[in-house]
Structures are given as structure tokens and as C-alpha cells.
Structure 1
Amino acid sequence: MAPKAILFDLDNTLTHRALSIDRYAERFLHEFKIEIAEADTRQISHLIGRIDNGGYLRPESEYSSIREAVGYTLAQELKWTGPVDPKRLITHWMDHFPSAAVEMPGASAMVQALHRKGIAMGVISNGAEHSRRQTLAALPFGETIETMICSEACGIAKPRSEIFHLGAQALGVRPEHCWFVGDHPQNDYLGATAAGMLAVWLSGFHPWPASITPAERSIKTLEGLLDMLAT
């Protein structure tokens, strides 16, 4: 049965986080180049990507957040011409990374096609309210997305069922009439399934755990979601 609404994860679903980091690295180097002795955008992107881990803080990290890890790593591992305050770099990341968002290939065409079909769309994302909304606003289709549910604002994070139910409620539909698309096996696919939604896994970003039964529905590109709707 065709869905009345489709909810999406944000990072590595509607946005391509690695490409967004590449774009941010260009801005970072442009603004700090006179303070850095040796660096290029590739090096900066590599450092951030290693720490960012697809938007998930590594369990062994000594830092409490990705923004903190990024700021301190850039301060410690780049060759600065003088002392640099990591807090300054953390603030720069918070202020400018969301607006560097690059859409996932095919996202605009998919959103437009779903809109023409009359399917309501929303986003459910773990993260800070301000950065999530900045990221969505930076995307060319951001205004077409009808609702944004952020874990910081509601005090509930994926994979808990309640946050998925909030998304369905915001779009005025029952969970069983919603599809959810995301890249993370546990937070997105299993979380949405447990909440009573039809879940679709976007593969290629997080490996599927061997201990979990393979996803019944998966796509490699967002175009695949439109193919799924057509069947």
C-alpha cells in the first residue's frame, strides 16, 4: 500500500555528509589560511571525516560531542602559525557546517516527485535543533519538508518509538501509514520498524550488523525509493 507520508533521516539520507565536510573544509581553509602553515582542503576533510565518523561520535572518543572532537582535533593536528583556541574552531564548526550541507544525489528530484504525488514529508533526526534546522534550510528542497523532529527539542532520540510517533503525529497520519528512510540499521531501520512504520534502509554508509536479520527493504540510491513506490 502506498504511504500517506514518508519520514526521512537527515545526515547521509537527505544530505551527503562527506560531501558536506568537503564543502565546509573549503570555507574553513579560506577563513583560516593565514593562520595555518601547511594544509589543504583534502587534509582538513580527512581529519574531520576521521573524527566525524558519519555523524556518530566514536564510543572510544575522549570528547563529549562531535563538535568538540572536531575543534580539538583541528587545533592539535593542523600546523598553526601560532596558538589557536579550540573553542574558536568549535564555534566555527557550529556556525558554518550546517550551511555547508550538500544534498544526497537524487534528493531534489525525489522530493519533487513525492510532492507531486501528494505524499507528506518530514525529517526525524538525532541532534541539536538549531543545527538540524540550519542544515535543512540549506538544502534546495528544504521548504517542501513539512516537519522536522529533533531529538534535542523533544528529549527523545532514535531508535525509541516515541520519536517516530511524534513525526507521524506532526504529519497527521498513523505510523502504519508512514514509511521511514534512513541509513543507520539500528537507529533508523529497526527503530522505525518497532514503531510500526514500513522502514527502508539506505545502504552504503553504515554496514548491516551480522547479528541482525537482513533488511527486508533496502535501496542503494534515493531513486530506488521512487522505484519501490512504483511497484
Structure 2
Amino acid sequence: MMKAIIFDLDGTLLNRDESVKKFIDKQYERLNKWLHPIPKEEYIKRFIELDNRGYVWKDKVYKQLINEFSIQGVTWDELLQDYLSYFKENCVPFPNLLETLDRLKQNNLLIGIITNGKGQFQMDNIKALEIDKYMDIILISDWEGIKKPDPNIFRRASERLQVSPEDCVFIGDHPEKDVQAAQAVGMKGIWKRDHQWNRVKADVVIDELDEIPKIIQKFL
């Protein structure tokens, strides 16, 4: 019997692509005194390329930007601190996020998050989306000392929820780090479709969050 729904964060609940575009546009304006010699479109485009959808931490991104564009007057560390301070103000949720979580809670389901990333940074983003109040558990790799696809972080989540992995559904956008890793410990794996991949082996494939409550009913 399905008792718990566990989500990935970036690319699943948080529309990270849109959040990054919104943030970097505002960063350019905020720090225009130092960044104005670089065409805005070039700065945004190169940041997004170097960021690699979040898989490259921003210290490396900003060091590379400083080097490539010969940025003067502001350091990579100051750019990074700006990112840490302001990204949370630019978090864009996927459509129907809160409505979906409301419906899941109405079905008396436990809800959690497992996300890779820096601890306080990810927690700030979770709070910015106003979803922390729905969560029974939140596991962030930085604070847990392990990260997806390590099976132990999935087992740890089910243990904290006090349910077996077989009674959990995990929903994420990454075929291996989310879906396959969850399935490997006995959870159902739902893939939230991402244009980067196709032919993903998942128990269910969804495009929108509001598809989830009806799908979960089939598992109950």
C-alpha cells in the first residue's frame, strides 16, 4: 500500500531553468557597474552553459566567467555570494505545485524531498517555494553526507518516514539519479519528463505535477 510520496527538487518541483534565467538577468542588472562591458545576452548565455543545469557548482562557473570576460572590480567570490543571497528570490515553481501537494496531503500521504546540493541554499529555495510546510522529511545531500544515486539516501528517507521503500513513490526528472536509483531500493519510480532524455524506464511518466494525485490513486 502506498504511504509516501518523495520528490526530487530541481527540475521536478522547482523550474530551475526558468529560475536561473530570471536570476542571472537580475544579477547582470544588479552588478551592472562591473558587468556592463559584457553584452547582457552573452553573460546570460555563458552562465547557463557553464552552469550545466546545476551540475557545476558556481565557484567554478564564476571563476571561468571572470577569466573569459576579464571582469574587473568584482571577484568570483563576490559573484558567488550574490548568487547565494539572491537566487532564492527568483525561484519559479512548476505549474500547480501547491495545489498538487494539497491534494496529496488530503489523501493522508506522507510527503518528502530528497535533493542533491548545498544545505542552506537548497533549504532557502524550498522555503521560497513555500513547500516546506508540506514536508514530513527533507534530505539534502550536503547535510546528509551522501547524495543520489546512493541507495542509502533513499533508504534513509523511508526510515525517517517509518515506512518501507516498497510503500514509497519517488518522483524526479533524472532517469538514473532519481528513477532508477529509487527503483533499485524497491520504490516506485515516476519520471517527470525532461527533454534531455527519452526512452526512460519508469513505472510511470508524467509531464505535469497535477497528473500525480490521479496516478497515486492507482497505487493505493
TM-score, normalised via structure 1 length = 0.85
1:71 partner amino acid: Y
Q: Deviations over 1:180-224 (max 9, x none)?
A: 00011110001000111011011125414x7xx732321111122
1:6 partner amino acid: I
Aligned 8 A contact 1:37 1:79 in 2: no
Partner of residue 201, structure 1? 191
Q: Aligned pair in 2 of structure 1 residues 40, 4: CA closer, same or farther (>3 Å)? A: farther
> Aligned match of 2:110 in 94, 113, 120?
120
Distance, in Å, in 2 between the alignment partners of 1:42 and 1:5 is 43
Partner of residue 16, structure 1? 15
2:169 partner amino acid: W
Q: Aligned pair in 2 of structure 1 residues 44, 117: CA closer, same or farther (>3 Å)? A: farther
Q: SS of the counterpart of 1:102?
A: coil
Partner of residue 140, structure 2? 150
Within-5 A mapping of 1:75-224: 75-78=66-69, 80=71, 82-208=72-198, 214-224=201-211
Q: Aligned pair in 2 of structure 1 residues 40, 135: CA closer, same or farther (>3 Å)? A: farther
Q: Aligned pair in 2 of structure 1 residues 126, 205: CA closer, same or farther (>3 Å)? A: farther
Distance, in Å, in 2 between the alignment partners of 1:178 and 1:73 is 41
Q: SS of the counterpart of 1:149?
A: strand
Q: Deviations over 1:112-141 (max 9, x none)?
A: 111111111110011111111111011033
Partner of residue 72, structure 1? 63
Partner of residue 47, structure 1? 46
Whose relative contact order is higher, 1 or 2, with alpha carbons under 8 Å and at least 6 apart? 2
1:228 partner amino acid: I
Aligned 8 A contact 2:188 2:203 in 1: no
1:119 partner amino acid: L
Percent of residue pairs identical: 26
1:35 partner amino acid: W
Unaligned runs of 5+ in 1: 58-65
Aligned 8 A contact 1:147 1:167 in 2: yes
Q: Aligned pair in 2 of structure 1 residues 113, 77: CA closer, same or farther (>3 Å)? A: farther
Distance, in Å, in 2 between the alignment partners of 1:6 and 1:200 is 10
Q: SS of the counterpart of 2:36?
A: strand
Q: Aligned pair in 2 of structure 1 residues 111, 156: CA closer, same or farther (>3 Å)? A: same
Aligned CA-pair RMSD: 2.1
